[in-house]
């Protein structure tokens, strides 16, 4: 998702320095004028703003707190925007060390990243959010300040709890539609405009039916998100049985598939 998001910043006229763990993924951006950095911290040198999107909280920790990481090399007033879905406590730790840091996880998948229509949930100070808003609007159409540091991550966990239940419903329903001989594509035409309508049904339902399990969002990353949500719920003393069922079902789905591959559990 980071490639298309960075591309929108170039479209808006921003000058970019970029780093990825797989250098070849940055080639389209370099061809459009971005400058390559050999180390992640180097993107922060003399930068007014730094955007990151990586895989797991451990990656965020290393990216920001490593000896040659962003916090070691950024300007004191630089706005730091982490777009990864990560742990709320980690977001607060970053902001403790750099008050201009924001946690801004996104929703909308590969489709939203490419179209620049992501929903972006932001946690941090009012000052940092105001400074980051022009950049965030290049990548998303629904940019909302949720509160102080960590609030963006908490909102994203709410989002993932909703998606977990919705994914179960869509996969089960489409598998059920096939069983008595209904044409699932025709079923989608009916229920997609009714009370069952959802982003998941509209965008991932057709992929499920087509057997297209290429990742717009990896199962392994969704499992991470559900784990973070379950841990947060446990700290709050809450029992979320729907989330628990979704986590259990996804344990049987291939790591590198897209999340829509859940339908294999019901319709092999």
Annotated catalytic residue: which of 25, 73, 137, 156? 156
Q: Distance from CA of residue 203 to its chain's centroid?
A: 16
Number of C-beta neighbours around residue 192 at 10 A: 14
Helix/strand/coil (H/E/C) assignment for every residue in 4-22: HHHHHHHHCCCCCEECCCC
pLDDT by residue (tens digit) across 69-113? 999 999 999 999 999 999 999 999 999 999 999 999 999 888 899
Q: What per-residue confidence (pLDDT) applies to 109?
A: 84
**Rounded alpha-carbon distances, angstroms, from residue 160 to 73, 214, 225, 229, 249:** 33, 20, 7, 8, 15
Which pLDDT band, with edges at 50, 70 and 90, does 6 fall under? very high
Mean pLDDT score of the chain? 95
Distance CA 71, CA 94 (A): 8
What's the whole-model pTM score? Answer: 0.93
156 catalytic residue (yes or no): yes
């Amino acid at each position: 998702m980071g490639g298309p998001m960075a591309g929108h910043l170039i479209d808006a006229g921003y000058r970019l320095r970029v780093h990825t763990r797989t250098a070849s993924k940055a080639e389209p951006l370099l061809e459009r004028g971005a400058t390559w950095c050999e180390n992640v911290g180097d993107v922060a040198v003399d930068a007014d703003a730094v955007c990151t999107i990586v895989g797991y909280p451990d990656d965020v920790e290393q990216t920001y707190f490593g000896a040659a990481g962003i916090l070691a090399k950024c300007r004191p007033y630089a706005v730091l925007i982490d777009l990864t879905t990560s742990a709320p406590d980690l977001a607060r730790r970053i902001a403790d060390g750099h008050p201009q840091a924001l946690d801004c996880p996104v929703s909308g998948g590969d489709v939203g990243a490419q179209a620049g229509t992501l929903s972006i949930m932001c946690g941090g100070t009012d000052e940092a959010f105001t400074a980051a808003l022009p950049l965030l609007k290049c990548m998303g159409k629904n940019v909302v300040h949720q509160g102080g540091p960590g609030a963006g991550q908490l909102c994203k966990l709410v989002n993932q709890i909703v998606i977990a239940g919705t994914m179960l419903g869509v996969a089960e329903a489409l598998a059920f539609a096939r069983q008595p001989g209904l044409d699932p594509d025709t079923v989608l035409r009916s229920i997609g405009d009714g009370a069952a309508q959802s982003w998941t049904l509209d965008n991932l339902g057709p992929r499920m039916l087509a057997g297209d399990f290429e990742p717009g969002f990896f199962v392994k990353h969704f499992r991470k998100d559900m784990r973070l949500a379950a841990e947060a719920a446990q700290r709050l003393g809450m029992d979320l049985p729907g989330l628990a069922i979704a986590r259990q079902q996804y344990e049987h789905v291939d790591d590198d598939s897209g999340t829509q591959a859940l339908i294999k559990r019901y319709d092999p």
